[in-house]
Amino acid sequence: MRRVSRNERARVSLTLNGRKLAGEVEPRMLLSDFIRHVLGATGTHVGCEHGVCGCCTVLLDGRAVRSCLMLAVQAEGRTVSTVESLAGPDGALNPLQQAFQSNHALQCGFCTPGILMSFTDYLERNPQPTEGQVVDVLSGHLCRCTGYAGIVAAVLEAAQHHKRR
């Protein structure tokens, strides 16, 4: 049984984007803050901090989850992937990112990292989604500037790319 008292700092190790990393946290530290402030990967954005906006969505063992609704200590020993994992080592965008760019699926970009991570999980499970299915998954995110039409088009185009491969 793992116990961490409120005044204690626990050492948490996890795999972030393929690298084994560790940091010291209070039990109440959110995974989103751990990723950004302790591990320094600031691609994950934090919006509402109560699970509504979807900005902070990351992959936990391959599944899209809200990192603001999880504690850092809960991610101990787990694999976390953030938006930084998507592009190639040379910075080349992956097909999903490419499709976002060519369909003008972002404007300010604040919500984009979370949306990319959601569809990274979803397209893995359902590589040929219908427009309705894409809209349903997208309903777990808020975008306040560009609107959703471009995002839906981008995801469908990325699925087409996947099909051609």
Residues that bind another protein (CB under 8 A): 1-7, 10, 26-28, 30, 33, 49-51, 54, 57, 60, 63-66, 68-71, 73-74, 118, 121-122, 136-137, 139-140
CB closer to another protein, 37 vs 104: 37
CB closer to another protein, 6 vs 164: 6
Closest distance of CB 44 from another protein, Å: 13
Closest distance of CB 16 from another protein, Å: 18
DSSP state of 56: T
Closest distance of CB 20 from another protein, Å: 20
Contact 20, 13 (CB under 8 A): yes
End-to-end CA distance of the chain: 46
CB closer to another protein, 19 vs 144: 144
| Alpha-carbon gap, residue 158 to 142, rounded angstroms | 20
Tokens read off for 21: 């990393």
The separation between CA 77 and the C-alpha centre of its own chain, rounded to angstroms, equals 18
Tokens read off for 159: 């699925």
| Alpha-carbon gap, residue 27 to 4, rounded angstroms | 6
Closest distance of CB 129 from another protein, Å: 11
